[in-house]
Chains A and B, each alone.
Chain A
Amino acid sequence: MKDLRIETHDNLVKIAGSLDLQHFAEAREALQQRGGKREIDLSGLTHLDTAGAWLLLQAAGHAKLEHLRPEYQTLLELVKKAAPKKQPLPHPLPDWMQTIIRLGKNTLQLWPAAYEFIAFMGHAIVALGNIIRRPSRLRLNSITHHMEAIGINAVFIVSLVAMVISIVIAYQGQVQLKAVGAEQYTVNLIAVSVLREMGVLLTAIMIAGRSGSAFTAEIGTMRVRQEVDALQTMGFEPFELLVVPRLIALLLVLPLLTVLADIVGLFAGSFIMHSLTGMSIPEYFQRVRDSASWKDFTVGMIKAPVFAFVIALVGCMHGLKVSGSAESVGKETTASVVKAIFLVLMLDGFFSIYFQQVGL
């Protein structure tokens, strides 16, 4: 690009070459330091852009522009009209105050969010009721498709997590219980914690992260591309078509995955106990039978469909909440995973208290 040349004479500043964005800093400097010079000669100007024109306009407040070519005159007038009116911007509040305001706003959002979720849950229950009355409306294809995506494709990762958590419990328990000479009781610890808590809880968390997020992203993308609107105009109930199959699939699959996690967890425990204490595998399972009962297994299994219900609903609800932009798909997906995991953990706490009270 051509250069910018600025010369200073007695009462005159000569600007030649290109006065543009790429020479902005130079030009600004020179125009600021010109002191009391009252005239700016522009006869040598070969290129002027909006940024340059704006600089000239600022300088022209107290100087005369000479020998300006007519085509630059149009540009100057255009920029003059477009130039921002110098009005002080509203002073932003300090950061700490904004944080407090945001906190307040988010807190106020809690009630509407809870209300929304309860309304959505009601909608889901009504839709399930309708399906039971007219089973022909059940979309079996869609349900089996989702069962494969949520269930079969998750078998490996759910097993792996169940195995790892069983190993962790065994190691930690064995170290602590050895100190009081109750090493064999590690088996009780593994059996009860896997069956009552860990099997179902970790499976639910994995599925919330894996499938709850997928529900939100899938339905959300359909909203962005107006597919949901298209369904509606064709006389479909988006709820029945998008939410119900996912809900039923997850209700069926999460208990099955929980059983899998329980089995894998117990087996992993047997291997780890064998390698840590030399306990034989039949002896391990005998101890499992002595320490844990069907009651423990039932407690875990009661929780599975409840968690499934919450994960599916949160995932679908946030998917349908997506509005227009691609960015909101990401935002809703994050919200859906965080909310689903939080609700699962909170419900698990309630269940613990409840089962304690009723003596299960």
Chain B
Amino acid sequence: MTARLKSDIILSARGITNRFGAQTVHDKLNFDVARGEIIGIAGGSGSGKSLLLKTLIGLHRSDAGQVDILGKNIQQLAPAETAFLYGVLFQEDALFSSMSVLQNIMLPLREHTSLSESEQIDIAQIKLALAGLDAKTGAKYPSELSGGMTRRASMARALALDPLILFLDEPTSGLDPINAAAFDELLIKLNHALGVTIILVTHDLNTLFTICDRVGVLTDKKIRMDKMQNLIKSDDPWIKEFFTGPRGQGAAMAARSAHGNG
């Protein structure tokens, strides 16, 4: 059983340390992510959530420690390799504004595969539909989309190469509650159907309670990663406040009733 588990570890972070000058943000963080998990990373403002995400995807080189995906150090992977390993949904969506949505999705396909133009279009349209957008949206430009649609378009682009891991930075921020809930559902659907591992940074308590298998909380330069029911019982004052404060309780209740109905 342990042997099987070990082989199923898709990402492992060892001794991640990040500093800004004299100030330490992360102090020797260790954690593993198994294939197919949905991991939430939470923490207060300024706790280095986004920095951790940047470290995990190799955009930021940590001061110490290393991140392995499928046993390979991400700092040593070629760009073309990383493109197939993970897709990223950025906080500001980062769709290229000079291209239509479909062209945005086709860009990695054009660069990294030998598909013909019409095949690229077909695959891109599948990704659009998977992200819950209709075919007409493909012809539009990012500036013509609403916030929720932009997020989904960006999601479709992150999925373009069918990556093993999907990283999301605050996926539900700026969305109305209905759209945010729909986006959570989309994540679960993709996780089930594609088997994609999802690592998301968020402080949306509803997302943390409803869809995450495990949650990593950044407090006091460390990360505490565990199942939600264990985290709630934590003694750490910040974690306690975060999950059992008025908003946390509301989200927990909503999650319970959702599970009850489903």
Contacts and interface: CB of A to CB of B under 8 A. Distances in A.
B161 A21 contact: yes
Contacts of B121: 84
- Residue of A49, A79, A83 most packed against chain B (CB within 10 A): A49
A343 interface: no
Contact of A78 (B122, B135, B193): B193
A307 interface: no
Interface string B68-104: 0000000000000000100000000000011000000
A25 B114 contact: yes
Interface stretch (A191-199, A296-304, A321-329, A333-341): A321-329
A141 B152 CA distance: 46
B46 to A, nearest CB: 22
Contacts of A49: 162, 194
A51 interface: yes
A74 interface: yes
B143 A51 contact: no
B107 interface: no
A50 B128 CA distance: 12
Majority secondary structure, A binding face? helix
A24 interface: yes
Contacts of A21: 84, 109, 113, 123, 161-162
Interface string B122-134: 1101111110000
Contacts of B119: 24
B233 interface: no
Interface in A7-61: 20-22, 24-25, 49-51, 54
Given A50-B123, A74-B193, A75-B193, A84 B162 contact: no
Given A24-B114, A84-B122, A325-B143, A50 B194 contact: yes
A22 B84 contact: yes
B19 interface: no
A84 B130 contact: no
B192 interface: yes
B97 A325 contact: yes
A82 interface: yes
- Residue of B97, B125, B193 most packed against chain A (CB within 10 A): B193
B122 A327 contact: no
Interface string B178-196: 0000000000010011110
Majority secondary structure, B binding face? helix
Contacts of B142: 325
Contacts of B127: 50, 82
Nearest to B127: A50
B64 interface: no
A84 B119 CA distance: 11
A133 interface: no
B253 interface: no
Nearest to A76: B193
A180 B128 CA distance: 76
B162 A324 contact: no
A95 interface: no
B123 to A, nearest CB: 6
A74 B192 contact: yes
A323 B141 CA distance: 14
Contacts of B130: 50, 78-79, 82
A327 B97 contact: yes
A44 B109 CA distance: 27
- Residue of B130, B162, B192 most packed against chain A (CB within 10 A): B162
A324 B126 contact: no
Nearest to B128: A82
A83 B126 contact: yes
B127 to A, nearest CB: 7
Nearest to B162: A49
Contact of A84 (B98, B114, B126, B192): B126
Contacts of A85: 135
B215 to A, nearest CB: 25
Contacts of A323: 143
Nearest to A53: B126
Contacts of B97: 325-327
B115 interface: yes
A54 B84 contact: no
A83 B114 CA distance: 20
A91 interface: no
B206 to A, nearest CB: 24
B223 to A, nearest CB: 30
B156 to A, nearest CB: 10
Contact of B194 (A25, A75, A84, A327): A75
A134 interface: no
Given A81-B129, A85-B135, 14 more contacts: A24-B119, A25-B115, A50-B162, A50-B194, A51-B162, A54-B123, A75-B193, A75-B195, A78-B189, A82-B129, A84-B121, A84-B122, A325-B142, A325-B143
Interface of A: 1, 20-22, 24-25, 49-51, 54, 71, 74-75, 78-79, 81-85, 323-327
10 contacts: A24-B113, A24-B115, A54-B123, A74-B192, A79-B130, A82-B126, A84-B121, A84-B135, A85-B135, A325-B142
The 6 residue pairs across chains A and B that have the minimum distance between CB atoms? A82-B129, A49-B162, A84-B125, A78-B193, A327-B97, A82-B126
